[in-house]
Amino acid sequence: MHALRKNSPLRRIVLASAATVSGMVLLLSLKPHSTPETALAVPAPSSSSGAGTSGGSSGGSSASGTRTVTGDTIQTRWGPVQVRITLKGGRLTEVTAVQYPTDNPRDQEINSFALPRLRSEALQAQSANIDTVSGATYTSDGYRQSLQSALDSAGG
Amino acid sequence: MTTVYAPPRRSAPARHSPAGAVLALLWAGAAGVVALWWADTGSVVGAAGRLTGAGRIAGLLCGYACAVLVGLMARVPLLERRIGSDRVARWHAMAGRYTICLLPAHIVLILLGYAAQDRASVWHETVTVVLDYPDMLKATFGTVVLFAVGITSARAARRRLSYEFWYYVHLLTYGAVFLAFFHQLTLGNEFNGHPVATAAWYALYLGVAALVLWFRVLTPVRLNLRHRLRVESVHQEAPDVYSVVVRGRRLHELDARAGQFFRWRFLGQGMGWTSTPYSLSAPPRPEQMRITVKALGGHSAAVSLLRPGTRVWAEGPYGSLTADRQSSPKSLLIAGGVGITPMRALFETLPGEVTLLYRARTAADLALGAELEAIANWRRAKVLYALNGPDGRRPDLTARTLRATVPDLAGHDVYLCGPHGFAREMYDQLRAAGVPDRRIHHESFEL
């Protein structure tokens, strides 16, 4: 492009912006739009034999048939996620997040909306078959895995 | 002022400009930055996912563009001398406009996306992000400065602001980019927990910082300590046109070439604050360099009053309007007004067959006329003058007349220097006369 050829910077910037916007839309639409259950690159429960990892049978049963079971600690990209469940007469009555990422304010903010929703979904589904909360993909996945491990050890 | 120098060398093939390779590298970097996002992102869920995704891409590109912007202005010799200072400055301006568009996009998209994820109001989200997120206060301050730089650089504002004001606001860019750097690493999904990406980002920014430090600070300090430049004399060449001869030590070591320029700062007399580009109006000698300046006002007008002995701070040589661009044994030099300065130097040194076309209003406005005639006699070259008629009529410089005056015009390399309107008009006429684009060599300090 010769400098003396007539060209308007305005036109070029509009073109560049249009190209950028279309590029972004294209890239975004090429990504999957639902969260695949297994495709997430969350490391498997790393060193599940580590301290405090296997909550398995740590549940204390009581006479009324109430059991508390702590699930595995799941390492997600933003930090560990671990849940504790309460079962009453075989029904899931409570899910508490014991560990979740809190390193930066964004995590705290995400958790403040994601954890309550994950809890209510789990109580409703009575299983670990729950949807990912938008914006909290990694936490959701860790939550699901920890919950599943807790249910497994409660059942087994 | 005329001296006979070594006879012209034989014409060598034109050196290939690295512009294409540099541009390809810059675009590849942008693609790499988008690839970072791509590799890091699993899925894009819902409107919130799309908004934050787009915001992240914009943010990454913005961070990359900031590094490129600063790097382009680092006065790297490869860019300044092989691609051309003017062309690199235009790239910088384009990248700047692009950055100023990406920046609000990044901010708005991220805030909307976060607000949608959190089911919070955008206002609440903005306050939280700015006040509570790590490094975001710094980044916010940097953003405000970047916007200020962008606004003062817009054409409409540039016309109303003094060069010095614009320049010093522009210098704040370094601080703004520095302040905005940290949030990219602490909050950027693509860097958090990705040591390779983090290292690459550090390498990009530290590399650019090293270029700036080396070529904008250390190199000029070394040059001026070594060569010790001072004004030797000032001569009037034409009404409002003055030549300044600068004396220094071992100037041949600068390796300055005809057609190149330096950025000059005359220390003292209140002129030390501004550095202005002026072309050498003669090939440099071992102890002397000469510039020729039209007193247009401000800095250039003060040049006529410079006292011998005034200390000079120079940076350069810059510019690519040299014999390297030559691809044919025949050259036509076209000068408009004070655009004669680099043409005068090239007229003496350019190898091969050279013709000079000098456009000025009247014969009295012709600067350096005696020298030009002497060079023309010595190397049996032709000088053509294009002056206004006695009735003030402009000379007829069209494709037709150019072809008639300069036989085989299309086979010439054309070097062009003059006011922007003149240069553009000549460019159109030359193209109409069949001179290929790549043979028209032009450099301008205007963007």
Does B13 have pLDDT greater than 70? Answer: no
Higher pLDDT, B115 or B356: B356
Which residues, in sequence order, are bridge partners of residue A99? A82
Q: Looking at beta carbons, which residues of chain B come within 8 Å of A113?
A: 117-119
Residue A149: pLDDT band (50, 70, 90) is very high
Give the residue-averaged pLDDT of B363-373: 90
pLDDT at A22: 94
Give the residue-averaged pLDDT of B131-136: 86
Centroid of chain to Cα A42: 9
pLDDT at A35: 57
pLDDT at B447: 54
Residues 6+ apart with CB under 8 A from B165: B152
Higher pLDDT, B271 or B176: B176
pLDDT at A48: 37
Q: How high is the mean pLDDT of chain B?
A: 90
Does B295 have pLDDT greater than 60? Answer: yes
Residue A33 distance to chain B (closest CA, Å) = 5
Residue B131 has φ and ψ, to the nearest 5°, of -90, -35
* Lowest model confidence (mean pLDDT) among A34-38, A98-102, B125-129, B416-420: A34-38
ipTM of the complex: 0.78
Nearest by Cα to B243 from B276, B278, B292, B294: B292
Does B268 have pLDDT greater than 60? Answer: yes
- B17 with B82: CB under 8 angstroms? yes
Check B134 against A3: CB less than 8 A apart. Answer: no
User: CA-CA distance, B232 to B104, in Å (whole number)?
Assistant: 51
Residue A10 in any domain: the answer is: no
Check B50 against A28: CB less than 8 A apart. Answer: yes
pLDDT at B15: 64
For A87, the 3-state DSSP assignment is strand
Residues 6+ apart with CB under 8 A from A124: none
Q: In terms of residues, how long is chain A? A: 156
- Residue B20: closest CA among chain A residues belongs to which residue? A1
- Residue A10: closest CA among chain B residues belongs to which residue? B97
pLDDT at B446: 66
Does A53 have pLDDT greater than 50? Answer: no
Cβ of A60 under 8 Å from any chain B Cβ?
no
Residue A55 in any domain: the answer is: no
Cβ of A26 under 8 Å from any chain B Cβ?
no
Q: Which domain holds residue A125?
A: 66-155
Nearest by Cα to B25 from B233, B195, B186, B204: B204
Nearest by Cα to A115 from A134, A141, A97: A97
Residue A33 in any domain: the answer is: no
Please tell me the total count of domains within chain A.
Answer: 1
Cβ of B43 under 8 Å from any chain A Cβ?
yes
Q: Looking at beta carbons, which residues of chain A come within 8 Å of B116?
A: 135
Does A39 have pLDDT greater than 50? Answer: no
User: CA-CA distance, B345 to B9, in Å (whole number)?
Assistant: 15
Higher pLDDT, A70 or A112: A70
Q: How far is CA B254 from CA B183, B291, B344, B363, B394, in A?
A: 42, 16, 20, 35, 41
Give the residue-averaged pLDDT of A55-82: 71
The residues in B 398-417 lying below 8 A from A, measured between CB atoms, are: 416
Residue A122 in any domain: the answer is: yes
Q: What percent of chain B has pLDDT over 90?
A: 69
Residue A22 in any domain: the answer is: no
Helix axis angle, B122-132 relative to A105-125, nearest 10°? 130
User: CA-CA distance, B382 to B412, in Å (whole number)?
Assistant: 14
Does A51 have pLDDT greater than 60? Answer: no
Exposure of A106 by Cβ count < 10 A (0-12 exposed, 13-18 middle, 19+ buried)? buried
Give the residue-averaged pLDDT of B336-354: 94
Residue B396: pLDDT band (50, 70, 90) is confident
Please list the alpha-helical segments (H only) found in B119-190.
Answer: 122-132, 136-153, 155-160, 163-187
pLDDT at A54: 39
pLDDT at A133: 82
Higher pLDDT, A78 or B330: B330
User: CA-CA distance, B41 to A150, in Å (whole number)?
Assistant: 29
Q: Which amino acid appears at position B35 of this protein?
A: A
Residue B7: pLDDT band (50, 70, 90) is very low
Check A3 against B187: CB less than 8 A apart. Answer: no
Cβ of B54 under 8 Å from any chain A Cβ?
yes
Q: Looking at beta carbons, which residues of chain A come within 8 Å of B38?
A: 27
* Lowest model confidence (mean pLDDT) among A57-66, A83-92, B26-35, B158-167: A57-66
Tokens representing residue B174 in the block: 């370094």
User: CA-CA distance, B447 to B429, in Å (whole number)?
Assistant: 22
Tokens representing residue B178 in the block: 């520095």
**CATH, residue A101:** 3.90.1010.20
pLDDT at A6: 65
User: CA-CA distance, B431 to B294, in Å (whole number)?
Assistant: 29
Nearest by Cα to B164 from B80, B279, B274: B274
Q: What is the DSSP letter of B280?
A: B
Q: Find out whether the peptide bond into A9 is cis, omega within 30 degrees of 0.
A: no
Nearest by Cα to A75 from A34, A36, A40, A39: A40
Alpha-carbon radius of gyration of chain B: 26
